[in-house]
Amino acid sequence: MTITVNKDALAHAEKLIDRGDVTRDERDDWSEHAPSADDENRYIDREGWKEYSTWYLGVDRQESDETKGRFSFPMGDFRRIHRCAVISLESRAAQHDHDEIARAAKRLLEKIDAGDES
């Protein structure tokens, strides 16, 4: 399993943060804010796999294109980036030695937090 940074998702996240489409929640909120499997399925049915993929910072190109197993490290709820999701994925990525993803998440978190200061 080779999970790398999903560059399209990273660009999507940066654009959402720049627009202010961010929920600035707390670290432990992600379990309550994360989309359910049914939410994911409805989003895929409505928007397609390409759009779905832009919400996941990790991609495993060894997995089939149109499977949920291809995408990991969710960043939001299909409307907004969630600070708690980025914190959670940074921690999980670091724990599992996905250093590139952890660094990308750290940059996103810094960008989110910098927006609090403006």
Q: List Cβ neighbours of 104 (8 Å cut-off, separation of 6 or more).
A: 5, 10, 57
| List of E strands, 1-118 | 3-5, 22-23, 56-60, 71-74, 81-82
Q: Are 65 and 6 in contact (CB under 8 A)?
A: no
Tokens encoding 8: 């399209």
The tens digit of pLDDT for each residue in 19-48 reads 999 999 887 899 899 999 999 999 999 999
pTM: 0.93
Question: What percent of the chain stands above pLDDT 90?
Answer: 91
Q: Are 70 and 44 in contact (CB under 8 A)?
A: no
Q: Phi and psi at residue 63, in whole multiples of 5°?
A: -85, 155
The whole-angstrom separation of Cα 94 and Cα 83 is 17
